[in-house]
Amino acid sequence: QDNRISIWSAGDLGNEGLNGEYHGEPRLLCDIQHNGDVMDMQFLDQERIVVASSTGTVTIFRHHQNNQTLSANHLWEKAHYHVDQDTSCGGAACTGVVCNNPEIVTVGEDGRINLFRADQKDAVRTIDNADSSTLHAVTFLRTTEILTVNSIGQLKIWDLRQQRNEPSQIFSLAGDRVPLHCVDRHPNQQHIVATGGQDGMLSIWDIRQGTMPVSLLNAHEAEMWEVHFHPSDPDHLFTCSEDGSLWHWDTSTNVSEKPSFLHQGGRSTAYLSHSTVNQSVVSAWLSNDPTKDRMEITNLIPNQTLSVNSLDVLGPCLVYGTDAEAIYVNRQLFA
């Protein structure tokens, strides 16, 4: 009932022990009340955080580092709504937010897409009936294009320069329309996209070709809530699930031992068909079966039973939150 946004310090490097483990306790720096469930949040810049609420409101909070306080900097009330913005109960949950400063894109249960600018009171652009079903997540493909995933197994690309309110491309899972919950794109190769959904499967898409995933990988026993490529080492991917597991997918393992991967011939010809001229190593993610010989999968929380709802990764650090009302920081991802 009573929700808050909290800023924590997970400690500074000065407190590390000899082999890199961290000794200090995480410290709560400040927190602030939040109206409705927090559905998603992302830093806009060093001190501003954009937060999506189940009430449909989108708020920018500012973290004042000089005196460690949080304040509401700006809010778009009922950016998402079912009937009209004015009815008291008309809000629809804002399910996803993504930032590319100063631009902010939000999606919601109402199938609406909003484009905001941090410095402007009104939405720059709203696509009212972008989807007839719930939009669960959104990410930038490039500065003018976004990707959304919805509750009937579709991945859609939207070109924000186009005035028409139609997606420029639609991709969908074959067969069952399994709801997709999360999406992330490869940081260096923008045509490679990963999604996860209600059936726990990991889908890898190549948006340059076809309308179906390049590979479907058996993953979790229940809903996949979040998928993230490592931002600086995208051979590593992380997924977490309602089933209490958090998986580290590593496609980097065998590249060094398998020179055939880099040369024509043998089993690697399938991979080379995807390559672009100046790309010396083809992404293992686009193989028809990336698990064969070239992927290691590790469950980073073997005995966890409660849902892992959210994760993020940067450098050697992984942070995740669970239904145990706890946040965990793993600082030795590649140890």
Contact 92, 148 (CB under 8 A): no
pLDDT in tens, 8-39: 987 665 555 555 555 667 889 999 999 999 99
Average pLDDT, stretch 92-121?
96
Question: Is the CA virtual torsion 327, 93, 58, 193 positive or negative?
Answer: positive
The tokens describing 81, both together, are 């709504």
Average pLDDT of the chain? 86
Instruction: Please give the full DSSP string across 119-176, using - where no structure is assigned.
Output: T-SS-SEEETTS-SS-EEEEEEEETTEEEEEETTSEEEEEETT--SSS-SEEEE-SSS
- pLDDT > 70: percent of the chain: 84
Distance between CA atoms of residues 272 and 247, nearest Å: 27
Residue 71 above 70 pLDDT?
Answer: yes
Q: Quote the pLDDT of residue 246.
A: 97
Q: Report the amino acid identity of residue 163.
A: Q
Task: Flag the least confident range among 91-95, 136-140, 287-291.
Answer: 287-291
With contact defined as beta carbons under 8 Å apart, do 141 and 185 qualify?
Answer: yes
Q: Which H or E element spans position 270?
A: helix 269-272
Q: How confident is the model at residue 164 (pLDDT cuts 50, 70, 90)?
A: confident
In whole angstroms, give the CA distance from residue 316 to residue 10: 13
Q: What is the pLDDT of residue 261?
A: 34
List pLDDT tens digits, range 166-190: 999 999 988 778 999 999 999 999 9
Which CATH architecture is the domain 1-13+23-130 placed in? 7 Propeller (2.130)
Q: Is the pLDDT of residue 288 over 70?
A: no
Q: What is the pLDDT of residue 286?
A: 80
* pLDDT at position 13: 53
Residue 269: the pLDDT is 27
Please, which pLDDT band fits residue 275 given cuts at 50, 70 and 90?
A: very low
So where are the chain's domains?
1-13+23-130
Per-residue confidence band for 255, with pLDDT thresholds at 50, 70 and 90:
very low
Quote the tokens at residue 30: 């400040």
More confident residue, 248 or 295: 248
Separation of alpha carbons 278 and 88, rounded Å: 56
- Smallest CA-to-CA distance from 322 within 331, 334, 314, 330 is with 330
Say if residues 113 and 105 touch (Cβ distance below 8 Å): yes
Q: Answer whether residue 329 shows pLDDT above 80.
A: yes
10-19, 25-34, 267-276, 307-316: the lowest-pLDDT one: 267-276
pLDDT above 60 for 266: no
Does the pLDDT of residue 287 top 90, yes or no? no
Write out the DSSP string of 172-216: E-SSS-PPEEEEEE-SS-TTEEEEEETT--EEEEETTS-SS-SEE
> In angstroms, how far is CA 115 from the centroid of its own chain?
18
**What is the structure's pLDDT at 290?**
57
**Can you tell me the distance from the alpha carbon of 266 to that of 255, in angstroms, rounded to the nearest whole number?**
14
Which residue has tokens 């409705």?
Answer: 36
pLDDT of residue 303: 84
pLDDT at 272 (0 to 100): 29
Least confident of 90-94, 122-126, 192-196: 90-94
| Cα-based distances in Å from 275 to 14, 95, 259, 288 | 44, 35, 16, 14
